[in-house]
Amino acid sequence: MARRKTAPKENHERWLVSYADLVTLLFALFVVLFASTQTDHSRAKQISQGVENALTAGSKPPKIAAILGGTVQDEGRGSDRLQGPASPQTVAMRTSRETPEPPLKDLASAVDLLRERLHKEVEQGAVEIRVEDRGVIIGLNSAVFFTTGDDTIDPSAYATLKTVAGILNRLPNALRLEGHTDSLPIDTPRFPSNWELSAARSIAMLRLFNERFGVDRERMAVVGYADTAGIDSNETENGRRRNRRVDIVIVSESGLRAEARPRR
């Protein structure tokens, strides 16, 4: 009679295989973590110093520069993207790192420097530089620096104003910001006359110099002359154009003595 085959018994220990694999993987993980904490500290220090030297020497590759935040010329790249191109925070950080220029020894040096650095603007008629008994006058053409009939400063003029502010910050002299208009009347809801417009433009210039370029507010004063102190005739368009301006006056010692002083 044939022997009956019996079914093999079910193995209830198969889970040990998966468990053993898991334990092996965990062991490997902890070995890797342990090894990562046991780096060669001397080697790591050498690498750190090498990277630091490369960054301070300005020899970092373009790709690394982009990751670290770009350069002054690469605005809006790398980490700068988090704040947008040339954000106020980024501009403030870069400005704080700039080496300040030495003070100017006198107003004559300031005049030479202004004519040198604003040569292009003077040729284009955007800026006039004059020397009078009361000091140095930097005349800013309103058609270039302001929106027509308004006190909003055109952002395209900021570069020129930054140059001017940089020179003002190297002098100790008092400053007067004087607004002027031509004789053509103005009547808007905000500016009922040229008096309000000329004063508002002076104030706008003061705020920009102080808040954006760091000119000390205690050095500055504002005046609105309307059309009462023109430097040319209001009978011609060219004369009216010259009269529409904001004058930045770097007050000389003799001019300061003539200024009205508050009573103590």
Task: Let me know if 215 is exposed, middle or buried by CB neighbors in 10 A (0-12, 13-18, 19+).
Answer: buried
Q: Which of 184, 161, 177 is CA-nearest to residue 220?
A: 177
Q: What is the pLDDT of residue 215?
A: 97
Residue found under tokens 């889970």: 15
For residue 48, is it within any domain? Answer: no
For residue 6, is it within any domain? Answer: no
Q: What is the pLDDT of residue 246?
A: 97
For residue 73, is it within any domain? Answer: yes
Identity of residue 253? E
Q: 66 with 141, same domain?
A: no
Q: 184 with 87, same domain?
A: no
For residue 227, is it within any domain? Answer: yes
Q: Is the dihedral of CA 212, 215, 219, 222 positive or negative?
A: negative
Q: 68 with 159, same domain?
A: no
Q: What is the pLDDT of residue 134?
A: 93
For residue 34, is it within any domain? Answer: no
For residue 201, is it within any domain? Answer: yes
Domain count, the chain: 2
Q: 114 with 225, same domain?
A: yes
For residue 5, is it within any domain? Answer: no
**Per-residue pLDDT for the chain (264 aa), expressed as one digit of tens each?**
555 555 566 666 666 777 777 888 887 777 777 766 665 555 555 555 654 554 445 444 444 444 344 444 444 333 333 334 444 554 554 544 567 789 998 999 999 999 999 999 999 999 999 999 999 999 999 999 998 899 999 999 999 999 999 999 999 999 999 999 999 999 999 999 999 999 999 999 999 999 999 999 999 999 999 999 999 999 999 999 999 999 999 999 888 877 655 554
Q: 121 with 252, same domain?
A: yes
Q: Which of 191, 134, 127, 133 is CA-nearest to residue 159?
A: 127
Q: 190 with 238, same domain?
A: yes
The CATH code of the domain that includes 117 is 3.30.1330.60
Q: 146 with 251, same domain?
A: yes
Contact 86, 104 (CB under 8 A): no
Q: 91 with 195, same domain?
A: no
Task: Give me the domain span that covers residue 85.
Answer: 61-98
Q: 124 with 251, same domain?
A: yes
Q: 121 with 209, same domain?
A: yes
For residue 26, is it within any domain? Answer: no
How far is residue 54's CA from residue 98's CA, in Å, rounded to a whole number? 20
Q: What is the pLDDT of residue 38?
A: 60
Q: 111 with 91, same domain?
A: no
Distance in angstroms between the alpha carbons of the first and the last residue of the chain: 135
Q: 91 with 198, same domain?
A: no
| Per-residue buried b or exposed e for 147-179, using 16+ beta carbons within 10 Å of the residue's own CB | eeeebebeeebeebbebbbbbbbbbebbbbbbb
Q: Which of 222, 121, 145 is CA-nearest to residue 179?
A: 222
pTM of the model: 0.61
Q: What is the pLDDT of residue 155?
A: 95
Residue at which a domain ends, from 77, 98, 119: 98
